[in-house]
Chains A and B, each alone.
Chain A
Amino acid sequence: MIELSRDITLGQYVNNGSALTRMDPRAKLLCAVFLIVLISFVNTFIGFGVCLFYCIVLQRESRISLGYALRGFKPFLVLLAFIYIMQILFYVSPTPHPKVIWQWGLLNISWEGIRSSTLIMIRVFFLYYLASMLMFATSLVDLTDGSEVLLSPLERIGLPINNIVMVFVVAFKFVPIFIAEIERLIKAQTARGVRFDKGNFIKRAMKVGPLLVPLFLSGFRRAEALTIAMEARCYGAGRRGWRRSKRREMHFNRSDMLVVIGTVVFCVATFIVNFIAPF
């Protein structure tokens, strides 16, 4: 039977007490932002090679098994492979005379196309890895507290950061609940004669459709119950002049500072390497 929660790892917090989990969330978020900006700019294989070095250090510090860290990537592989092939076939070169290996109408394969598509796939992979590492090593409260502080300057222009962050907290709270709900519905429908494990890919996908209505109904019911519970505990979004206080205090200490500075230095260095790299 399908065990969704085994494969969907995104957003899961692994509290294993590693150095990474103990870091200040603001430091982690800042590092993640710098790295994501870096990854978006890197466009050479050597540049990504240097990034891989950073990820190896990250992986060691996280004390999470590599298999688990990459498992969540598996469901996307088919889709990414499809996109990869399409990108190569429909590649339009910016230079007027690309080296074409094979051509048939609009479709063509060129070395340039393969190179650029491969780089895009590597980039997607790195972005996925960084985002999931951030989630694995940061609890939801840390994540929200951290982003609330980092985003607080935006409150000056009138954005209700406090409320926006709470929306994300609640949304994330529902992820495991939704997954459990889907598993339950699949079981209930299997018990009534639906066969999720039979038929080809398309047939299986068709069977998922009828799950959505009961899923959303129960989602709405739960959301309503949660709203009532939050209101009963004096959560007053939209109430004038209302402001929540915080029990938790964050400590940005020297090691956090060092990690942030180290990451910035690394990013700058990689950027330079990428700039002068021959391929």
Chain B
Amino acid sequence: MLEVNDVTFSYSAHGEEDAPPALRAVSLKIDAGETVAIIGQNGSGKSTLAKLLAAILQPDSGTIEVDGLRTNAGGEALWTIRQRVGLVFQNPDDQLVANTVIDDIAFGPENLGLPRFEIEERVQEAMALLDLEPYAQIAVNELSVGQKQRVAIAGVLAMRPRYLLLDEPTTMISGHTARQLLESVQHLSRERGISVIHITHFMHEVPSFKRVIVMDAGRVLMDGTPAEVFARADELRAVGLDVPMVTRLSQRLRAQGWTELPEVVLSTEQLNGAGHLQASPPGSAGMSLIDTSREVTLAPAESKPLFELRDLRHTYLRGTPFAVEALRGLSLSVTQGQTVALVGPTKAGKSTVVDVLAGLIKPAPGTFFFAGSDVGVSSFDIERIRSMVGTVFQSPEAQIFEDTVGKDVSFGPRLQKVPLAESRRLVQDSLEAVGLPYEDFRSRYTYALSGGQKRRVAIAGVLALQPKVIIFDEPAAGLDPRGRRELLELIVRLRQQQALTIIYISSGLEDVIGLADTIYILDQGRTVFSGTPGEILRHASELKALDITLPEATQIALALRETMPTINTGMLSLEELEAEIMKARVMR
């Protein structure tokens, strides 16, 4: 049993000045074999709790006991606790030590000083549990992020822990892979009686756990079953969280007089089941699966495309044993004023496309026209692209170079030798455009900002260069539901106010379906298909095969087909889905 008694912890006692307490008087108990999801917005104290439980940090006051052993007892108890409580982090690159899969999994057991045959046995067992046997001798840096995360979990399992703590393990992996990972973890819990404690931002991952703990500002706000917690939707929203879409949908349907539904619906099976929805009369099943009446705003066809890529190829590390062909015949075109989304699984060539469109690499061979001129000819000045295109990279940390917000945003204008007054105005306008008041933020330290604020500063830094096009490279990764929503709203607002052309890179469709005019689906460095959001959703099964996460509304509609064959899966929002279900119900 894990027992947390009245624990308070503050980083200010550990070198960070003026940090508010990360945990305030937290008490809770987790039994052996329990599966628990911990949710809370960024900075609510979830990760701190995980580190305290694994005896990496010690509480300032209060006690933590693992199977009766105090985490601050020191000596041998500390090592027993660390062996019993396995911790897996968000970024697998930060936790894999050795350079091949098998050696990394063996790292923990080797630290325990176990005899060779036992290490071998544990390593084999851990690899089998996570289907890693075929990768045993592969170098860790050749694996995808999802595979690395499996190695990280296997490395912890080889210690034979009783408690498995997962700190946002699915942030960096996409839909299907994330689901598989969670399924294997749940399976482990059932088979081995290991207790799983899963920290997450994704509400749809929560219903498969028996218990949910909601944290906010260092306190435990709620503690109960998923049904109990998700019944308090308004309170959750107040702390920046949300309920799964299927729960929201069912609540709306209940309000529409659909009283047969349980109060809190957690899965589409529940919505489908219990005979609430019977099959529609035969004959209507052949109806169009997609609502073709939905109006699509397209840029006028005669305007010349800003970017025109045809059959583009690019190879990294050319001429070495490690050459990788990142683009193999990619085609796309972007017209001025359009919002275009590029969506694809890992290794689809997304980041290479970003580099090409931002003028950071010159690809060859293939055709690349920028505003009508051929980029391939030697007389083309790549500076033309760079001066018009701004890029917001995946992690904002990589893009903030200065210590204060004002200095960082003025980085670009200063390099361009813009006069001081003008530069000041640009910084002010850019900061205000991203919703950060100038006077309030200009002298703040960049490292002390929250994840969402850092992203805003990064965007302001790009806006200060007055680009015509902005490329967003997975800007919402790692943000909690509120941060995500606010960021998308900001992008929509910027597009309207500044008449920008937007290129949005994403591994899932959720963020872009309501935002983009045209979506390109990429895989293995090629364009697989493209079209309007409505057209894209028609390819639901292909998208699934490519491991591209479908929007929640589409997932629900697809699952409801079982009992409502006429339902349209092309819905983009909750409201549309609700209307569609009501329609299907009337038809019954």
Q: Please indicate whether A and B come from the same complex rather than being unrelated chains.
A: yes
Q: Enumerate chain B residues within 8 angstroms of A71, measured Cβ to Cβ.
A: 320
A187-B91 contact in complex given A5-B317, A244-B113, A249-B116, C-beta closer than 8 Å = no
Known A189-B401, A245-B116; contact A169-B97, beta-carbon cutoff 8 A = yes
How many angstroms between the C-alpha atoms of A47 and B319 in the bound complex? Answer: 33
Residue of A nearest to B110 (CB): A244
- Give chain B residues whose Cβ lies under 8 Å from the Cβ of A225: 89, 91, 94-95
Q: Per a CB cutoff under 8 Å, which of A67, A189, A247 touches B116?
A: A247
Selecting from B354-362, B431-439, B502-510, B548-556, the interface stretch reads: B354-362
Residue in B98, B114, B316, B411 whose CB lies within 8 Å of A245: B114
- Tell whether A191 pairs with B386 under 8 Å between CB atoms, given A1-B360, A14-B321: yes
Known: A192-B399, A244-B110, A245-B114. A176 touches B141 (CB 8 A): yes
Stretch at the interface among A76-84, A120-128, A234-242: A234-242
Q: B residues within 8 A CB of A248?
A: 103, 106
Q: What does the 1/0 interface line of A51-86 toward B look like (CB < 8 Å)?
A: 000000000000011011001000000000000000
B139 at the interface (CB under 8 A from A): yes
Collect the chain A residues with CB atoms within 8 Å of residue B107's CB.
Answer: 230, 233, 235
CB of A9 within 8 A of chain B?
A: yes
Q: State whether A232 touches B320 (Cβ < 8 A).
A: no
Please count the residue pairs between chain A and chain B whose beta carbons lie under 8 angstroms apart in the complex. Answer: 160
Alpha-carbon distance between A231 and B54 when the two chains are bound, in angstroms? 10
Residue of A64, A188, A234, A247 with most partner-chain B CB within 10 A: A247
Complex-state Cα separation, A213 to B398, whole angstroms: 12
Q: B316 near A139 (CB under 8 angstroms)?
A: no
For A173, A189, A245, which residue has the most chain B Cβ atoms within 10 angstroms? A245
Once the chains bind, are A6 and B319 in contact (CB under 8 Å)? yes
Question: From residue A71, how far is it (CB to closest CB) to chain B in Å?
Answer: 8
Q: Which of A15, A68, A192 has the most CB of B within 10 A?
A: A192
A49 adjacent to chain B (CB < 8 Å): no
CB contact between A234 and one of B93, B94, B95, B108 (< 8 Å): that residue: B108
Chain B residues within an 8 Å CB radius of A177? 93
Is the Cβ of B97 less than 8 Å from the Cβ of A191? no
Asked whether any CB of chain A lies closer than 8 Å to the CB of B465, the reply is: yes
> In the complex, which residues of chain A have a beta carbon less than 8 angstroms from the beta carbon of B390?
191
Does B19 reach chain A (CB closer than 8 Å)?
Answer: no
Contact call A3/B399, Cβ cutoff below 8 A: no
- Taking CB atoms, residues of chain A closer than 8 Å to B386 are 190-191, 193
Closest-by-CB residue of B relative to A222 is B94
Tell me which of B100, B110, B120 has the highest count of chain A C-beta atoms within 10 A of its own C-beta. Answer: B110
Interface size on B, residues (CB 8 A): 65
- How far, in angstroms, from A109 to B113 measured CA to CA in the complex? 62
Q: Is B119 an interface residue (CB 8 A)?
A: yes
CB-CB under 8 A for A210 and B320, given A234-B112, A244-B111: no
Contacts of B411 in A (CB 8 A): 192-193
Is A100 in the interface zone, CB < 8 Å from B?
Answer: no
B109 contacts chain A at the CB level, 8 A cutoff: yes
A218 at the interface (CB under 8 A from B): yes
Interface residues of B in 78-112 (CB under 8 A from A): 79, 82-83, 86-87, 89, 91, 93-95, 97-100, 102-103, 106-112
Set of chain B residues within 8 Å of A15, measured between Cβ atoms = 139
Question: B119 to A226, Cβ gap below 8 A?
Answer: no
Beyond A222-B94, A245-B113, 17 extra complex contacts between A and B, CB < 8 Å: A16-B321, A65-B321, A184-B398, A187-B360, A191-B399, A192-B412, A192-B415, A213-B401, A214-B398, A225-B94, A226-B97, A229-B95, A233-B97, A235-B107, A242-B113, A244-B110, A247-B103
A-B residue pairs in contact (CB < 8 Å), sample of 28:
A6-B319, A15-B139, A64-B321, A140-B99, A141-B99, A169-B98, A184-B393, A187-B355, A188-B393, A188-B401, A190-B386, A191-B360, A191-B391, A191-B399, A192-B401, A192-B411, A193-B386, A193-B412, A193-B416, A225-B89, A226-B94, A229-B94, A234-B82, A235-B107, A244-B110, A245-B110, A245-B115, A247-B110
Task: Point out residues on A near B: beta carbons under 8 Å.
Answer: 1, 3, 5-6, 9, 12-16, 64-65, 67-68, 71, 139-141, 169-170, 173, 176-177, 184-185, 187-194, 210, 213-214, 218, 222, 225-226, 228-236, 239, 242-249
The interface of chain B, by Cβ under 8 A from chain A, is 51, 54, 56, 79, 82-83, 86-87, 89, 91, 93-95, 97-100, 102-103, 106-116, 119-120, 123, 139, 141, 155-156, 159, 316-322, 355, 358, 360-362, 386, 390-391, 393, 397-399, 401, 411-412, 415-416, 461-462, 465
